């Protein structure tokens, strides 16, 4: 079979297809009896195809952008009370911290400018404060071990004066101790999630009177009060990152509202609930982005500085790296500079935490939105219970039995804090796909029908055409004479003339046959037979 024969047969099939397809435009092209008309319909068909491709491209761009809807559901009912972690802003008691060999040197160096070169203090007060805080944080492992026997951090009795929850008193057994590298010893209420709230308002939440005792503050502590964090009981409390302050001498009323968020995972977002390739050093019951980021920073410290930061979790028992704290005379200052280059990098000329750490956001998140209001504490006419019945061992004013002196001390050294649900209804925000695959199919069908007049039947027809062409090629048809494809224009013209000649000859023969019948009588008159007589 030659290429010419293959093309002739295929063209015949295509012309036949144009006669019976339901796709608009193609029949006009195939059956046009004039060249200009065929060109006109080809132009129209091409324009419609271009418009369809353009519209379909917009549809595909929309689909592969994976848009989402956020569905909001409001519910009302009993809620689990959140965990509340509280810490004194001052990590360690000054009177006891001075006895620590390294922390005592830091305190003396901070207050005595003649020895500040050992710790790399700058002349600027703010830089000096940051440097001292960084040094203390690096001592965390040593201070934590030292605190076990010397109690330089605040105990529960040092911090909490009174505690009530849901109109009932609470005690130390309902709190869990937590050691924080920035704030020393902290305490978490409702750490197991066992307490629930069924009513809104301050009376049915947690109310605390807390003691800060500024006389025991370290010299680089800039603020006085407590820091607190409201979080899920199963979450690790990152108080330094997400906590809030409650100032000394004020009453802080915190109304909370619960909001749950559920995002769609890939391909709609890069969130995850199953963690990432980054190894997490924190013990958490679920994936937390902050734990991942801190673990990533720890890996960066060990890789760049050759030591780990004690303020971040690390693999205990690993001898591969030692602490970045090398004592007051070692390489601690050099390690601090190395770590600050990482943590203070803007991502342009150095480490970019958003790009270099594989720490996506979590898909499922529980948020406690807070409304904070403050008032003066204590009121002028109010006499705190402790001023009437002082607690032995915690009397810090003089004279001890002077209520006025007690109230003055309270103004600068205590905090009133209440945390409660301001309403019992809560929001559930859930993402859903805004443009599903069925919508893509529907819109594509609409565009095909609008611009090309096609339907599912048309698609089947094109499938049938493909099968016919395939079968035609596979069966390898023999050479055949197809005048509409084989003859040239001159041959077609001669063939048309031949057909017209034959037609003319047939017409002449017919006329000759009629003329021979007349010649039989030779123009003579012939009598007609008699008429049929009517019967009597």
The reply to whether 502 falls in a domain is no
Spatial distance between the Cα atoms of 5 and 486, rounded to a whole number of angstroms: 9
The pLDDT confidence band at residue 207, using thresholds 50, 70 and 90, is very high
Predicted local distance difference test score (pLDDT) of residue 343 = 83
- Across 88-92, 380-384, 532-536, least confident range: 532-536
Q: Provide the domain count of the chain.
A: 4
Confidence of residue 318 (pLDDT cuts 50, 70, 90): low
| Lowest-confidence segment of 72-81, 460-469, 487-496 by average pLDDT | 487-496
Q: What pLDDT does residue 100 have?
A: 92
**Residue 487, pLDDT score:** 54
Structure confidence at residue 454 (pLDDT): 85
Q: What is the DSSP string of 238-274?
A: -HHHH-EEEETTEEEEEEEEEEEEE---TTS-S-BSS
Q: State the pLDDT confidence band at 430, using cuts at 50, 70 and 90.
A: very high
Regarding whether 356 and 283 lie in a shared domain, the answer is: yes
pLDDT at 515: 59
Last residue in a domain, options 313, 339, 362 = 362
Q: Are 420 and 398 in contact (CB under 8 A)?
A: no
**Phi/psi at 200 (nearest 5 deg)?**
-95, 160
Is 496 a member of any domain? no
CA 203 to CA 197: how far, in whole Å?
A: 11
- Strand pairing partners for 149? none
- Looking at the fold, whether 80 and 105 belong to one and the same domain comes out as no
Q: How confident is the model at residue 385 (pLDDT cuts 50, 70, 90)?
A: confident
Pair (236, 170) in one structural domain:
yes
Instruction: Quickly list H helices, 344-482.
Output: 353-356, 385-388, 403-413, 437-452, 456-475
> Exposed, middle or buried, 513 (CB in 10 Å: 0-12/13-18/19+)?
exposed
Q: If you average pLDDT over residues 459-485, what whole number do you get?
A: 73
Confidence at 459, pLDDT banded by 50, 70, 90 = confident
| Residue 467 located in a structural domain | yes
Mean pLDDT of 19-25: 81
Q: Is residue 475 domain-resident? A: yes
Confidence (pLDDT) at 536: 40
pLDDT at 418 exceeding the cut of 60: yes
247-256 residue pLDDT tens: 999 999 999 9
- Same domain as 183, residue 259: yes
Q: What does the pLDDT read at residue 165?
A: 96
Rama region for 263: left / alpha / beta (φ>0; ψ in -120 to 50; rest): beta
Is 304 contained in some domain?
Answer: yes
Secondary structure of residue 210 in the 3-state scheme:
strand
Query: Can you give the pLDDT at residue 392?
Result: 80
Residue 222, domain member (yes or no): yes
CATH number for the domain that contains residue 384: 2.60.470.10
Residue at which a domain ends, from 152, 171, 186: 152
- In terms of domains, do 282 and 338 share one? yes
Is 252 found in the same domain as 109?
no
- pLDDT category at 524 given cuts 50, 70, 90 is low
Cα separations in angstroms, 452 against 26, 45, 462:
9, 8, 13
Residues of the chain with pLDDT > 90: what percent? 47
Lowest mean pLDDT across 74-78, 205-209, 216-220? 74-78
pLDDT for residue 42 is more than 70: yes
Q: Are residues 184 and 82 both part of a single domain?
A: yes
pLDDT above 60: residue 532: no
- Residue 148 shares a structural domain with residue 159: no
Would 494 be classed as within a structural domain? no
Residue with the larger pLDDT of the pair 153 and 11: 153
Domain-embedded: residue 513: no
Helices (H), 262-397: 289-305, 332-343, 353-356, 385-388
Query: Helix, strand, coil: what percent of the chain each, to 5?
Result: 45, 20, 35
pLDDT digits (tens, 9 = 90+) for 350-367: 788 888 899 999 999 999
Domain identity same for 428 and 448: no
User: Could you say which of 129, 152, 175 is where a domain stops?
Assistant: 152
pLDDT of residue 399: 80
Among 66-70, 320-324, 478-482, 515-519, the range of highest mean pLDDT: 66-70
Same structural domain, 182 and 323 = no
Q: Same domain for 196 and 82?
A: yes
Domain range holding 104? 92-152
Mean pLDDT of 128-139: 89
- The answer on 86 and 191 residing in a single domain is yes
């Amino acid at each position: 079979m030659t290429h010419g024969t293959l093309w002739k047969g295929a063209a015949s099939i295509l012309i036949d297809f144009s006669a019976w397809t339901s796709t608009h435009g193609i029949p006009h092209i195939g059956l046009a009896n004039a060249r200009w008309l065929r060109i006109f319909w080809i132009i129209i068909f091409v324009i419609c195809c271009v418009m369809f491709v353009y519209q379909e491209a917009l549809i595909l761009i929309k689909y592969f952008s994976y848009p989402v809807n956020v569905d909001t559901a409001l519910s009302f009912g009993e809620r689990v009370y959140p965990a509340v972690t509280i810490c004194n802003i001052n990590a360690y008691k000054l009177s006891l911290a001075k006895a620590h060999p390294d922390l005592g040197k830091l305190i003396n160096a901070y207050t005595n400018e003649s020895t500040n070169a050992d710790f790399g203090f700058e002349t600027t007060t703010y830089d000096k404060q940051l440097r001292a805080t960084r040094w203390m944080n690096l001592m965390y492992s040593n201070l934590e071990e030292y605190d076990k026997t010397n109690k330089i951090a605040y105990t529960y009795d040092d911090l909490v004066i009174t505690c009530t929850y849901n109109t009932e008193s609470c005690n130390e057994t309902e709190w869990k101790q937590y050691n924080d590298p920035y704030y020393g010893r902290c305490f978490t209420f409702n750490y197991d999630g066992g307490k629930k709230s069924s009513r809104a308002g301050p009376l049915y939440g947690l109310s605390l009177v807390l003691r800060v005792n500024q006389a025991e503050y370290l010299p680089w502590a800039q603020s006085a009060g407590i820091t607190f964090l409201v979080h899920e009981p199963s979450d690790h409390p990152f108080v330094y990152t997400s906590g809030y302050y409650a100032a000394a001498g004020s009453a802080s009323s915190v109304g909370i509202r619960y909001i749950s968020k559920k995002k769609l995972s890939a391909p709609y977002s890069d969130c995850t609930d199953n963690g990432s390739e980054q190894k997490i050093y924190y013990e958490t019951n679920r994936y937390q982005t902050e734990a991942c980021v801190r673990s990533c920073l720890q890996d960066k410290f060990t890789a760049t500085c050759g030591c780990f930061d004690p303020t971040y979790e690390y693999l205990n028992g690993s001898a591969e790296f030692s602490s970045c704290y090398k004592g007051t005379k070692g390489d601690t200052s050099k390690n601090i500079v190395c770590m600050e280059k990482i943590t203070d990098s803007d991502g342009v000329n150095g480490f970019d935490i958003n790009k270099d750490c594989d720490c996506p956001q979590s898909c499922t998140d529980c948020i406690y939105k807070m409304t904070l209001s403050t008032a003066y504490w204590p009121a002028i006419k109010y006499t705190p219970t402790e001023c009437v019945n002082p607690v032995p061992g915690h009397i810090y004013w003089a004279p001890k039995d002077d209520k006025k002196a007690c109230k003055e001390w309270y103004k600068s050294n205590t905090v009133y804090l209440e945390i409660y649900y301001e309403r019992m209804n809560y929001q559930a925000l859930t993402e859903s796909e805004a443009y599903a695959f069925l919508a893509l199919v529907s819109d594509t069908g609409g565009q095909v029908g609008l611009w090309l007049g096609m339907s599912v039947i048309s698609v089947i027809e094109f499938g049938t055409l493909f099968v016919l062409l395939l079968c035609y090629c596979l069966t390898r048809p023999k050479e055949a004479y197809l005048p509409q494809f084989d003859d040239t224009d001159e041959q077609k013209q001669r063939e048309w003339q031949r057909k017209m000649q034959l037609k003319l000859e047939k017409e002449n023969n017919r006329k000759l046959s009629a003329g021979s019948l007349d010649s039989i009588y030779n123009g003579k008159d012939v009598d007609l037979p008699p008429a049929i007589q009517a019967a009597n």
